[in-house]
Structure 1
Amino acid sequence: MLYGTPRLEPVDLDVLEQVDAMRDQLRHAVQQAPMKWTQDLRKALTASAIAASNTIEGYRVDAKDVADLMDGERDVEASDENKAETLAYQQAMTYIQSLHDVADFYYSKELLNSLHWMLQGHHHPIKTAGQWRKTSIRITAPGDELATDYEGPDQELVPGLMAELVAWLNGGDLDSHVLIRAAMAHLNLVKIHPWSDGNGRMSRSLQTLLIARGGVLAPEFSSIEEWLGMPGNTWEYYKVLREVGGPVWSPERDTLPWIKFNLLAYHQQAQRVQRRVDRSNECWMQLMEAAEAGGITERQVTALHEVAMTGRVRRSRYEKAEAINTQQATRDMQALTRSGLLTAVGQTKGRYYVAGPAFPQNVLATAQRPHTITNPYSA
């Protein structure tokens, strides 16, 4: 028996309808946006999701550094351990994103164990990866390792529970909204806790996979991991998992509070992404206007746009984004630096560029424009 999908209340259905509307708007906005900055935004959102989900587990790498690691840079401000966790999660996330439109896709225990190996294989065999745990498991309370928050089901029950979950993923509650099914998949996997480590990230990844398979938005725009990684939200995340899941495996419990929490996450993350899409689009248009007036090439706008949206750009990232050689990319960076549009930071190895004194101030103001995120349950 798994934790069951609850019946939604009228207010929940209203919030879900609002989320659907925002996701439709996002899809249209992204489809109409210039391809260059859309790719930029997708990479930034993926980096933020990876950084946030790893932060929940205590591995801290800034989202900007995650984006650099994703591009092959290794000279970033992070420990070897944090780099390894980031790269492993990137590998799993990249595979998950690639599955969003596979025609003959189906869920299996092998798929889940393979994803777990991508995430945790670098710890094997010290921490067994890619196979179910063979021992009991105890989840400690945040900040107190002696306090038990949750005890997972006995290891002998794990294979059967995972078989039941896989069967449900392929054919259970198919009349439920994809966002609700994704939240329930997350809850059941994290409560079964089938592996010795990495269960939280795997559960969040599974939720992202189900949402992506829903086909409304590209996977990069679908994840709520960035939202879950925000400090206040992380605390509430642990709190609702405790309250709904119970101290031990108890699938008879009411799961509606978990669904309400996830609906709030979907809604607020969609708001955040929409604001970012709007700002990104405006920055691109303003930079194109500046390019026409100031002798900036269209490809150089790509570098300036990344600086506006993320705070910095590396020559290697710009080189890949524009599919040019190192010499061309270097010349462009030097030209933008001489003009005062960019300022170089650091030595040759690890060097990156930030906004210079001549960077268009209206673009920076647009990129840093504050926004308000509302709570649909208190509106």
Structure 2
Amino acid sequence: MLFPTPELSELDHAVLDDLDRMRRDLRHQIRQAPTKWTEGLRKFLTADAVAASNSIEGFRVSTVDVVDLMEGERDVEVSEDNREETLAYQRMMTYIQTLHDAADFTFSKGLLNALHWILQGHHHTTAKPAGQWRRGPVYVTDPRDPSIAAYTAPDAEDVPGLMAELVDWLNLSEETHPLVKAAMAHLHLVSIHPWVDGNGRMSRSLQTLMIAREGVLAPEFSSIEAWLGRPGNTWEYYRELNARGSHYQPDQDVSSWIRFNLTAYHQQAQTVGNRLNRSSRVLAHLTDFTAAEGLDERLVSALHEVAMTGRVRRLRYEHAEGLSVQQAQRDLRDLTTSGILESVGRTRARYYVAGPAFPEAALTVATTPMSLTDPYRR
């Protein structure tokens, strides 16, 4: 038995209507922006989702370090465990992103186990098999006391039947709003806990895939994983899951879980829209700056990266502009000589940050914090 989808309140419907409008506006913004800049934003948002979802599980790599790892940088100061977990999750997310418009797509137990293998295959052992349902009990322990089971998942012999029911439900055409169904899918999977490890990230990824399959926004702009990874939100996330009980009890009202997810969708849409706006304004400042200084317009790419993320590496700039190694090195060296950038580190680990001559107006726009509104408290 799965959790029944709750009836929505009038306020829930109002929030959903607002969300639909915001997501249509975001789609219009993205289509109007130059592809070159939206591609950079896509990569950043993917990295932000990977960093956040992994941080919930205790693997802490900053978003900008994830961007560097995705770019192919080797000299990134992270532990080997964090590197492996980051790259595994990024590979799974990349595959999920390719499925958003796949023809003849269906959910299946095979697909879910294949995604789990991508995520956990580097940990595969006989005792902890990846890409296969667990064969024994699994517990979510209390973070304050590992001897206490905050949640005990269903018996292993019940997992195949529950997962078959879930896959049938995922493929079912119904009138439920896609964002609500995606939230319920997350709850179903994390509650069944069908694998030995990786259940949280798999559940969040399933939600991302379902939102992406809706077709309104590309998956990079759809995920709420970055929102869930913020410390206060992570605490609320666990509180909502703990409210479901210490054992699998699907016959209950989960309206608060839906409200929690609708808030996440709404605030993440606010965040992405704000980042798009800031990116556009920073781009305008930097375009004017390079023109006034008589600099090549391709340098805007490196400067924009510094303003929006705090730093740029040679490889990132090289890939963004399709340059040779020598040209990218020369450009960054010239920017450093002029004081626009400052070099940090040596050889392959070197990166560049804003220097004393970096245009202050661009930095001000990029770093001014935004306020988020709670859609249920308007």
> 2-side partners of 1:353 and 1:155: how far apart?
51
1:369 deviation in Å? 1.5
Counterpart for residue 350 of structure 1: 349
Contact 1:283 1:366 in 2 (8 A): yes
Counterpart for residue 87 of structure 1: 87
1:251-271 alpha-carbon deviations (Å, 9 max, x no partner): 101111100000010011111
Counterpart for residue 274 of structure 1: 273
Asked if 1:141 is matched to 2:142, the reply is: yes
Asked if 1:28 is matched to 2:28, the reply is: yes
Give the paired residue count: 377
> 1-side partners of 2:50 and 2:363: how far apart?
26
The sequence identity of aligned pairs, in percent, is 61
1:224-265 alpha-carbon deviations (Å, 9 max, x no partner): 00000011110110110111x321111101111100000010
Counterpart for residue 246 of structure 2: 247
1:86 deviation in Å? 0.3
> Partner amino acid for 2:168?
A
> 1-side partners of 2:219 and 2:298: how far apart?
26
Contact 1:36 1:302 in 2 (8 A): no
1:16 deviation in Å? 1.0
DSSP-derived class of the 1:29 partner: helix
> 1-side partners of 2:220 and 2:233: how far apart?
20
1:109 deviation in Å? 0.6
Contact 1:107 1:169 in 2 (8 A): yes
Give the TM-score normalised by the residue count of structure 2: 0.98
Contact 1:54 1:201 in 2 (8 A): yes
Alignment of 1:317-336 (within 5 A): 317-336=316-335
> Partner amino acid for 1:277?
L
Asked if 1:287 is matched to 2:276, the reply is: no
1:38 deviation in Å? 1.0
> 2-side partners of 1:144 and 1:375: how far apart?
33
Contact 1:182 1:211 in 2 (8 A): yes
Asked if 1:170 is matched to 2:184, the reply is: no
Alignment of 1:84-163 (within 5 A): 84-125=84-125, 127-163=128-164
> Partner amino acid for 2:374?
N
Counterpart for residue 373 of structure 1: 372
Contact 1:179 1:211 in 2 (8 A): yes
Contact 1:37 1:284 in 2 (8 A): no
1:19-43 alpha-carbon deviations (Å, 9 max, x no partner): 1111111111111112222111111
DSSP-derived class of the 1:266 partner: helix
Give 5+ residue unaligned stretches, structure 1.
Answer: none
> 1-side partners of 2:346 and 2:99: how far apart?
40
DSSP-derived class of the 2:349 partner: coil
> 1-side partners of 2:154 and 2:308: how far apart?
45
Contact 1:282 1:366 in 2 (8 A): yes
Counterpart for residue 209 of structure 2: 209
Give the TM-score normalised by the residue count of structure 1: 0.98
DSSP-derived class of the 2:141 partner: strand
> 2-side partners of 1:285 and 1:40: how far apart?
16
More deviation, 330-339/304-313: 330-339
> 1-side partners of 2:101 and 2:92: how far apart?
16
> 1-side partners of 2:87 and 2:183: how far apart?
25
1:127 deviation in Å? 2.5
DSSP-derived class of the 1:377 partner: coil
* Runs of at least 4 residues off by over 3 Å: none
> 2-side partners of 1:39 and 1:141: how far apart?
40
1:286-328 alpha-carbon deviations (Å, 9 max, x no partner): 1111121112222110110010100000000111111111111
DSSP-derived class of the 1:5 partner: coil
> 2-side partners of 1:134 and 1:74: how far apart?
37
Give 5+ residue unaligned stretches, structure 2.
Answer: none
